[in-house]
Amino acid sequence: MWRENTSIITYSVYTYPQYRVQRRFGVLLEHICKLAKEDGHSRVYVATEEDVLVLNLK
């Protein structure tokens, strides 16, 4: 994870098969959203191989 004044960017997250379905990335993403919200950001972008998801922080 890289954090700058205006952006939080997470690069290339891979979950090994034996750790899937344990919500490990979900916990990481919740923490990223918390940091972004604390810094005054209104959304977080999550890029996957197929799509870009926009998470609105309220």
Picking from 50, 16, 17, 15, the residue whose alpha carbon sits closest to that of residue 29 is: 15
**What gap in Å lies between CA 55 and CA 18, rounded to an integer?**
27
- Look up the domain containing 43 and give its range: 2-56
pLDDT tens profile 4-48: 556 666 677 888 999 889 988 899 899 999 998 998 888 888 887
Number of folded domains in the chain? 1
Quote the pTM value.
0.71
Check pLDDT > 70 for residue 2: no
Picking from 10, 5, 49, 4, the residue whose alpha carbon sits closest to that of residue 33 is: 10
Handedness of CA 54, 5, 33, 51 (dihedral sign): positive
51, containing H or E segment: none
Whole-number mean pLDDT of the chain?
Answer: 82
**What gap in Å lies between CA 10 and CA 32, rounded to an integer?**
9
